[in-house]
Structure 1
Amino acid sequence: MLTDTHAHLNDEKFDEDREAVIARAVEQGVTRIVNVGFNRETIPTSLKLAEQYDFIYSTVGWHPQDAKDMRPEDLDWLESLCSHEKVVAIGEIGLDYYWDTSPKDVQDRVFRDQIRLARKLGLPIVIHNRDAHSDIVKILREEKASEVGGIMHCYSGSWETAKLCLDMNFHISFGGPITFKNAKQPKEVLQKVPLDRLLIETDSPYLTPHPYRGKRNESAYVRLVAEAAAELTGKTLEEIAEITTTNAIRLLKLK
């Protein structure tokens, strides 16, 4: 009963064996996968995947790295897609100060526009945050994102920032890095996150957990993330699977 709350199974890296990848996830006990569409190219293919498999859901949103390419009509397009029965959140959205692909002011505007859309529609949001912790918190607070809440995807920040996000109605999601020997901060933060706000993910094909680090990630490996979370929290694998799946079902209204 595992749930991968963040995957990119429509990525071209899966073009040769996508069906087999999904079958392996099922074999490992994955019962729900949230696939993320994040720009003009990936949103349609994410939706197609969700339509093909009853246990796969989709998000729709505009990634900060692609913010410069977002046109005014694209926001209307996103809104029209949110009525799709398999769309469960707006995301991934946020700020990325590591990759210099979109100006910060453009990222800011696109981020705010999508938070406002989420509030209008009553949908949770999935946050991408890279090297932008203080600005993320500032914008979430100013745009009243607590009204819809959502997911801090693949969380890598401090416990102090996590507390601010928790106070704004967000869940904290962890991926492959909690299996890395040198990932001290994510492990410490996970141990402090209330269990009813804890989620797990793969971000496949990226951030592959140990012992497959450096290779392509896939949703089956969310089991390795769950095992690490279980060890860190003193729970069993089964308990972590049930806790995180229950949280995902409640937040994203999954079936």
Structure 2
Amino acid sequence: MANIQKLDPCASPLDYYGSELRRLREANNLKQGQLGDIIFCTGSLIGQIETTKKVPTRDFSERVDAALGTDGVFSRLIGLVLRSQLPTWFQPYAEMESCASYISTYQAQLVYGLLQTGDYARALLGVDHPNKVDEMVAARLERQRILAGENPPALWVVLSEAALLQEVGGRDVMRAQLTHLLDFHDNPWVQIQVLPFSVGQHTGMMGSFNLLRFDDDPDLFYVDGYDQGHMTAHPQVIKERSVGYARLQATALSPEDSATLIARVMEERYGDQS
């Protein structure tokens, strides 16, 4: 007799997802392989997701909903599952980020997570988390869904020129990443400015930071750390960092000139040099 792994649906969002997948699959009198055939994957993958050895994707969830007639159950669960794959210390920020009406960020070295391509994110996350890279990339891309929603936040990004020049993942990955940044040029809710090296010293030299603004809650300041983040709504911090951010915006290139610089770096540094 097969050894059926017992599941504790209360252990985590991933455990709950797996237990519901098994319960509803069995309620439809389907074996793992049969469900796999219907949604174009292997029965082994079904089993791995049911036992939390693999993290499902949004595409997988949508196909399961269609196959089992579950009225969007798994499509609704997947956001919670993927968010649970973020580092524990980062999850509170991700939750607040998803509720913000206005996001301002200064990035000293890297492209902001909401604007990263999958390959760029994979190259970054694979350095320290090679065994969890698929799950972490999926979680990062899930965060980006707020930009495509019915009521997206206004996002203002100031990127140090270093973010354009620091090669992440190789030339092809960087070219695709810079192309992705240019794709936002006509998006009315996303503004990207580049802070060139030529400005010299500036108020963001202590490192990257984010400011979140909400319709009905106090503003938040967030700064990332190596193994933890710091978030505060202290009025004096918000005031100082808001002024600092305004100075960065005033010093940086205009969005139009920034797009020109991004395009030039893309061609000169990461273009076809054969």
Task: State whether TM-score is above 0.5.
Answer: no
TM-score (normalised: structure 1) = 0.30
**Is the radius of gyration larger for structure 1 or structure 2?**
2
- Per residue, is there more strand in 1 or in 2? 1
- Select the structure with the greater relative contact order (CA < 8 A; seq sep ≥ 6): 1
TM-score (normalised: structure 2) = 0.29
